[in-house]
Structure 1
Amino acid sequence: MGELWMSFMLKERMESEELMLLRMLKARGGLLDDSRFWNLEKGYQGEVLFDKWFSSLDGEWIVVNDLLLEHAGSLFQIDSLVIGGDRVYLFEVKNFEGDFLLEKDRWYSGSKEIKDPLSQMQRCESALRQLLRSLGYQLPIESTLIFINPEFTLFNCSPKLPIVFWSQLNRFSKKILKQSASSGKLHARHSRLAEKLCELHIEKSPYERMPEYRYEELRKGIVCVGCRGMGVRHHYRMIECESCGSKEALDTALLRSINECRSLFPQIKISTKIIHDWIGETVSKKVIQRVLQINFSLIGYGKSANYVKDTQRLIRTDIKA
């Protein structure tokens, strides 16, 4: 990669596997405690809002989102890392809502003490600085805690703290754009750093905590792509949600349902019979079989026959060999 101009995103933000699986479980009544789901969902939506705001800025930098890194035996997560010409910006994004209190370095939501997000960000900054030095980079790090929700209030907050509220984003954007304009051009060395951090990113987070669930305990049917409800009607080649009115092509909805089953139960051998049961027998086996044949490969014979993606087929062939 040569010299870069303007903003460049090397790593886009993706929903975590844990959040996607919890969404599937919630839609099918598989979450007895949905607090973890809502925390992840709200956090992700806050990060999406941050991305929308930051992408509107036309500074010269490289954006690397959603990193999980390790240094000296310690793991640390970065919501958004931005590499500028003369510094690295580290953004910790929070989507808190309501009234909070900061008192003697302790954070409270009502009467309940919560984890200190400033300390969390500072630990992350320290680990990142050590990692950058080990890679041969001495760029200063400028860390900022962003509260992206306009309905958030923090009482007793010192203006000296590296905190930016929703109402301050416009002024903050002017500040970093001014810094970007005076920081010099990005060069290959900057892009190599971004690429190296992406290489070091750990895909599977050890922080993921999935609840126990069983196939027979989950609601069967096709989940609405819009509201995530289960009340969908089948009209020839379309399905329509009775609650929100969302429409989706039948084949698309079936493929999505098949992939949900594969994701939640990777050990299950996918067959026409299994998928017919999974979607609550709302579509004929003939239609299901057609969608499976188009998108998957059939292996085995008789009762042991099942559908796999081509990558799975290669793996199973290698194991058999």
Structure 2
Amino acid sequence: MRKIPLKLKQLQILEQRSTLGETEEKEKEKLSRGYAGELEFDKILDAYVSGLDVYHLKDFRFKNDDARDLTKVVSGSSEVQIDNVLAAGDRIYTFEVKNFAFDLIYGSKNWHFTGGSEYKDLSMQVNRQRSSLNFLIRDGGFNYEVISHLVFVNPQQTIYNMPNLKNLIVPSNMGRRLAKICVSNRYDQSSVVDYLDSRRLVKSMYDLPANVSFEALRCGVFCYRCDSTAELERVNPYKYCCSSCTKEFTVLEVILVLIDELKTLNESWEVSPARISAFSGGAVSSSTIRRYKRDGRILL
């Protein structure tokens, strides 16, 4: 299961509990579009591999400590993130997903906007992923061919001058390409997949606390299913309701959301019944939270 990026989740919370600046708004839009594209490709890829003997690792993040890996010297970091790693047909495939809302002109090194200005070399990221994953796999004593792909999922986007390269996937050729890639492994590939999972980073070096103090936050209880900035309405002593999407929440669900938001914004913050109650704007009393804790229904 793919998790929402921490930075995006923080910005979604801050959108309801503070005022985002222009830079933060743009970052939230970029992250939201990227995450939506990853989910869309997950749906497509999952349909192709359904019932097959394959392994699909999503949002695979690892640290490559091999001193021979020159890609980390160039990037300034040994941490690598790959949207999708697929073990199929006894090969290892990677997919870097892009969900751009603008058209591009293909270039063997630098890509360009249709207006003529330079974008960047999209192949550099893919090449770094392939090289770093190759080092990681060899470091584990395995010998696999890693085949990397750059995937554009937005059907409204046009890539001009795009050559017929096997590692470039767009909506018009996605079906044909995935049909060839998504075949069952003939041999047991669980050992290499288990090894990769063992090297997965639980926490990224880029997962940092939100740049905000607790005192600067708008307190209250809000809907996490929609972008409404209106507080939830109290229907009765046991239930809240969102006036925008009509989603209903029990008191326990509200408390769990409050705890998750606090830990998401800054995992070093104290999460006590008193702080949760203050974070709710008094909508949930500290005595109610203590009772749920005492009954073992929440963990603090």
Q: 1:36 aligns with which of 19, 27, 33?
A: 27
Tell me which moved more, 12-21 or 92-101. Answer: 12-21
Q: 1:162 aligns with which of 161, 167, 184?
A: 167
Q: Aligned equivalents of 2:11 and 2:135: distance in 1?
A: 34
Q: Aligned equivalents of 2:114 and 2:215: distance in 1?
A: 40
The answer to whether residue 149 in structure 2 is matched with residue 144 in structure 1 is: yes
Q: 2:38 aligns with which of 47, 50, 57?
A: 47
Offset, 1:295? 4.4
Q: Per-residue CA shift, 1:252-282, capped at 9, x if unaligned?
A: 1122113322442444434443223211223
| Counterpart residue number, 2:103 | 99
* Aligned residues of 2:110 and 2:122 also touching (Cα < 8 A): no
Q: Secondary structure at the match of 1:92?
A: strand
Q: Aligned equivalents of 1:206 and 1:244: distance in 2?
A: 36
Provide closer, same or farther for how the CA distance between residues 293 and 36 of structure 1 changes in structure 2, counting only shifts above 3 A.
farther
Q: Secondary structure at the match of 2:215?
A: helix
Taking structure 2 as the reference length, what is the TM-score of the superposition? Answer: 0.83
Q: Secondary structure at the match of 1:113?
A: coil
Provide closer, same or farther for how the CA distance between residues 269 and 238 of structure 1 changes in structure 2, counting only shifts above 3 A.
same
Q: Aligned equivalents of 1:211 and 1:27: distance in 2?
A: 14
Q: Secondary structure at the match of 1:248?
A: strand
Select the structure that is richer in strand. 1
- How many residue pairs end up in the alignment? 282
Q: Aligned equivalents of 2:209 and 2:33: distance in 1?
A: 17
Provide closer, same or farther for how the CA distance between residues 207 and 289 of structure 1 changes in structure 2, counting only shifts above 3 A.
closer
Q: Per-residue CA shift, 1:84-133, capped at 9, x if unaligned?
A: 24311111111112212224521234555333222210121122122222
Tell me which moved more, 244-253 or 31-40. Answer: 31-40
* Aligned residues of 2:86 and 2:94 also touching (Cα < 8 A): yes
Paired amino acid for 1:170: G
Task: Tell which structure's C-alpha radius of gyration is larger.
Answer: 1
Q: 2:124 aligns with which of 106, 109, 119?
A: 119
CA RMSD between the two structures:
2.5
Map residues 1-321 of structure 1 onto 2, 5 A cutoff. 12-29=1-18, 31-32=20-21, 33-57=24-48, 58=50, 59-71=52-64, 72-73=66-67, 74-103=78-107, 105-109=109-113, 111=115, 112-160=117-165, 162-177=167-182, 180=183, 185-187=186-188, 190-208=189-207, 210-231=209-230, 232-236=232-236, 237-295=238-296, 309=300
Q: Percent identity?
A: 27
Q: Aligned equivalents of 1:78 and 1:173: distance in 2?
A: 18
Taking structure 1 as the reference length, what is the TM-score of the superposition? Answer: 0.78
Gaps of 5+ in 2: 68-77
Offset, 1:75? 2.7
* Aligned residues of 1:144 and 1:164 also touching (Cα < 8 A): yes
Offset, 1:192? 0.8
